[in-house]
Structure 1
Amino acid sequence: MSEPSSSETPAGRAPSDGERRGRNAARTKAEILAAGRAEFSARGFEGARVDAIAERAGANKRLLYHYFGNKEELYCAVLLDAYQEIRRGERALSLDRYGPVEAMDRLVRFTFRHFLANPWFTRLLTTENLENARFLKTLPDIPALHSPLVGQIETIIARGAEKGLFRRDADPIQLYISVAALGYFYVSNMKTLSVIFARDLEDIAMVQEREAHAVEMVLDYLKTGA
């Protein structure tokens, strides 16, 4: 039996106009969101232009305004999507399956690699900090996104302390800020630091050395006084 064509539903019937519109709408929104991510991370909020975002997305401004309202709302959607993406990656690690040392090792490496693989993320965060987090403050979903992460780190610390591997007084929020900083600073300052120290920080050997260094710093801190 032949497979249904891409224009058909799994049941073999042609999709309805409503189904086609729904798929097209979802695809168009995703393309506008991706174009907004590229434009805002490259040019900042003030420098980004709606015309350029629409052109990147292959859509017209009418659709952009229809789906996202205005430039500010699109920027907020891009910002929220960026945080949701890294939180999804953290959840996918399933850290509860691992011992506390390996769990923390995996979290540090994931965070470092996320910044490294997504340099647009550091630029977007820099933009929002230059805006004094004025858009982030309007996003009601942000606390709920970060609360499980803090709880997960707290659990890893507690499990490590019970085994006599980790100190008990580590603050999960302070710890995560340090974990993120070890990746964020390296990626966001890679070009300037490469010039200052006359070493190519983008070289794979340097990147691997830095990742191992980040893991070692975090684990050594957690083990101090254990």
Structure 2
Amino acid sequence: MAGVTARKPAPETPALSPRADKPVSARAAATRQRILDAALVEFAEKGLAGSRVDEIAARAGANKRMLYAHFGSKEELWLTVLERAYAAKREEERAVVVEGLSPQDAMARLVAFNLRYTARHPEFVALLNQENLHRAAYLLRSEDVPALYSPIPEALRGVLARGEAAGVFRAGVDPMQLYITMLALGHFYVANRHTLSTIFGTQLDTEAAIAARERHVIEVVLGYLRP
């Protein structure tokens, strides 16, 4: 909201330097993974400010000292979880096969992927909502995430170019604007599914409801792209 400045939470404890210079044993790697998995659940449920290091450690079957040895601070753990969430989505996005499909079918597949991924991973939506409350204060420190999405996903650019060349897509579509629209069509739906379900007296998180939403958003995007 205008006029509201998000405050960056103070570190829960002074940051400790992770021992990144030493080889990571299989046991240490397993502990690190458990901490990350536990942190994802806690952060998605309670946000950065509401999550406590001792609760994350307990959920992971570890202790606070182990957590700080791996991540240094709660804020560094948050950033790592956020980076991993972005990377996981990007990895699946890159695996979407659009070669051999018509431009329309290829675009439909990309649109459907973004909706379905968001519906399968509400925790990703929760993390993004929290990071936006902090005005991307932690994401600004990441070198990895901007690199993942710069340039705009190549599959989308390629499908747009093929569709324009074939005369089935309008010319001059801004790939970034289209990509943001595709993300928004899924993100808003999942982020607001509980309130919208209550308002409209229906369950928007059922498979039937998501399938109906999928058909709708595909038609919205393809309708926009028609010359």
Q: More relative contact order in 1 or in 2 (CA 8 Å, sep 6+)?
A: 2
* Structure 1: 4+ residue segments shifted above 4 A: none
Give deviations 1:15-64, integer Å, cap 9, x for gaps.
xxx99x62212211111111111111111111110001101111111111
* Conserved 8 A contact 2:164-2:170: yes
Q: Is 1:140 matched up with 2:143?
A: yes
Query: Which of 1 and 2 has greater Rg?
Result: 1
**What are the equivalent positions in structure 2 for 1:62-81 lying under 5 Å apart?**
62-81=65-84
Preserved contact between residue 115 and residue 121 of structure 1 (Cα < 8 Å): yes
- Residue 204 (structure 1) shift: 2.4
**Equivalent position SS for 1:26:** helix
Scaled by the length of structure 2, the TM-score of the pair is 0.86
State the SS of the aligned residue for 1:147.
coil
Q: In the alignment, which of 94, 106, 110 is matched to residue 109 of structure 2?
A: 106
* Structure 2 portions without partners, runs of 5+: 1-21
Distance in 1 (alpha carbons) for counterparts of 2:209 and 2:94? 28
Matched AA of 1:128: E
Written as runs of structure 1 = structure 2, the 5 A alignment for 1:85-96 is: 85-96=88-99
In 2, the alpha carbon distance for the partners of 1:96 and 1:62 equals 49
Structure 2 distance, partners of 1:90, 1:44, is 26
Whether the 8 Å contact between 1:150 and 1:173 is mirrored in structure 2 is no
Q: For residue 156 of structure 1, report the CA deviation from its aligned partner.
A: 1.3
Query: Larger deviation: 143-152 or 178-187?
Result: 143-152
Q: Identity across aligned pairs (percent)?
A: 46
Deviation sequence 1:42-101 (CA, Å, 0-9, x none): 111111100011011111111111111110100000000000010000011133443322
**What residue is the counterpart of 1:213 in the other structure?**
216
**Is 2:49 aligned against 1:46?**
yes
Equivalents in 1 of 2:102, 2:61: separation in Å? 47
The worse-fitting range, judged by mean Cα deviation, of 133-142 and 96-105 is 96-105
Pick aligned residue for 1:162 from 153, 160, 165? 165
**Corresponding letter in the other structure for 2:183:** A
CA root-mean-square deviation: 1.6
> Please, what TM-score do these two structures have when normalized by structure 1?
0.86
Alpha-carbon offset, residue 169 of structure 1: 1.2
AA matched with 2:208: A
Runs (5+) with no aligned partner, structure 1: 1-17
The Cα of 1:151 is off from its aligned counterpart by 3.3
Counterpart contact for 2:126–2:191, Cα < 8 Å: yes
Kindly tell me the number of residue pairs found equivalent between the two proteins.
206
